[in-house]
Amino acid sequence: MKKFDIPSYYRSSIIGKIKEIRQNNDPRKKDSSPTILDFGPVRFYLARHFGFCFGVENAIEISYKAIEENPNNRIFLLSQMIHNPDVNNDLQKRGIKFIMDTSGNQLISWDAIHAEDIVIIPAFGTTLEIQDLLKEKGVSTKRYDTTCPFVTRVWKRADQLGKQNHTVIIHGKHDHEETRATYSYSKKNAPSLIIKDMREAIVLADFILGKRSLSGFNAFFEGKYSEDFDPNTSLDKIGVINQTTMLATETQAISNFLKEVMVQKYGSENIKNHMADTRDTLCYATNENQDATYGLLKLKADLALVVGGYNSSNTSHLVELCEEKLPTYYVANEQELLSSTKINHFDYKEKTTQITTNYLPKKQVVNIILTSGASCPDTVVENVLNKILSYFPEARNVEEVLAQLEEI
């Protein structure tokens, strides 16, 4: 795996050491069981995989290189580079300005962008329309394009599907930067439709099987299908791709479900003519993080702390998995741990923060699940761990616990 040159303050001596030990003991990553850190009165269960993925480290390296290489140029990011406030705030402190917000709303007019400016493409990629606009302005984006290679792989698969006369079904959030970019690439060569979840997949199946009148298709999927999408003809040959930060298990479940629908309509002997196999578009990092979370949930814990940006799709999905099993608190950083009795955390469904009291149970040993999203620096996870430890004055020191971990 490539080693990226990213600022040292995103690295963590504690978390880095734990990951190094696990990598040495399990180089092929076959063991998804958690790392157990026993501090005596508090015990942490750390996910086997969490934190920066390949695509995020690649994006960070390129962005800081752009700053270093262009001291006399104005530098812009199309929008947030990744969905993490610590990283984005640091980039802004270093002079980078955001042209749009995460919803695509303009923060800086395109008229203010000139050919000599540096424009960085974020890890989510961008639409063909924006690329064309920048090209017209004479702005080169190739040098500082941080688009995740696993996102571009999805785009290439969409292109292949289009050339094979498939309609592309995109499992994603239609307003997410990555899905907007994927949709832009997909609709260039194929009728395309965005569905958010299994509920919408079931509605789509009803249209395919004639259980719903096609006259209602446009209203239900308004704003989520391409101009050339015709429900009368575009649903007889399909392939499913995804926003890489969606739940991989849900993407696969949707694909399997739609395959059964096509079998029901066309017969198993004809399925290859109507349904493409697109399992190769699932992101390895999303899979690993989610598998590691399932590994965490096999253990009995009192609560879960999930660390990451509040607009991070992959982090919210980890929260979704955890809260099915136990009290779960979604925090951006250690500052949300207000005290040993109060925590400020994010409700991703309501999009609001709330304060919960007595989140740490009063018992002899408190067991805490700890993980983070793919855009969260390890230092932030370390800070959360240390903040919790500060509430347990009788806890063993970190060096002792790490030394014991090395002996296992």
Q: Is the pLDDT of residue 389 over 90?
A: yes
H or E segment to which residue 177 belongs: helix 177-189
List, for residues 45-98, the tens digit of each pLDDT value: 999 999 999 999 999 999 999 999 999 999 999 999 999 999 999 999 999 999
Q: Is the pLDDT of residue 405 over 70?
A: yes
Q: Which two tokens stand for residue 90?
A: 């640091």
List, for residues 304-319, the tens digit of each pLDDT value: 999 999 999 889 999 9
How many CB atoms are located within 10 Å of the residue 54 CB? 17
Report the pLDDT value the prediction gives residue 149, as an integer from 0 to 100: 93
Of 264, 241, 263, 268, residue with least CA distance to 252: 241
Q: Please tell me the distance from the alpha carbon of residue 237 to that of residue 241, in angstroms, as a whole number.
A: 14
The mean of the pLDDT values for the chain is: 94
Report the pLDDT value the prediction gives residue 290, as an integer from 0 to 100: 85
In three-state secondary structure terms, 284 is: helix
What class has domain 54-136? alpha beta
Q: Please tell me the distance from the alpha carbon of residue 303 to that of residue 360, in angstroms, as a whole number.
A: 8
64-69 long-range contacts (CB < 8 A, ≥24 apart) are 64/6, 64/7, 65/5, 65/144, 66/118, 66/120, 66/143, 66/144, 67/91, 67/94, 67/95, 67/96
Q: Is the pLDDT of residue 252 over 80?
A: yes
Q: Is the pLDDT of residue 248 over 90?
A: no
Report the pLDDT value the prediction gives residue 279, as an integer from 0 to 100: 77
CATH topology of domain 149-243+246-282: Cobalt-precorrin-4 Transmethylase; domain 1 (3.40.1010)
Q: Which pTM was predicted?
A: 0.90
Report the pLDDT value the prediction gives residue 2, as an integer from 0 to 100: 73
Do 8-53+285-407 and 54-136 have matching folds?
no
Of 394, 370, 374, 396, residue with least CA distance to 18: 370
What class has domain 8-53+285-407? alpha beta
The domain ranges of the chain are 8-53+285-407, 54-136, 149-243+246-282
Told to judge if 178 belongs to the known catalytic residues of this protein, a careful annotator would answer yes
Q: Is the pLDDT of residue 161 over 90?
A: yes
Which is catalytic among the residues 178, 200, 250, 334? Answer: 178
Report the pLDDT value the prediction gives residue 32, as an integer from 0 to 100: 84
Q: Is the pLDDT of residue 1 over 70?
A: no
List, for residues 270-288, the tens digit of each pLDDT value: 999 999 988 767 777 777 8
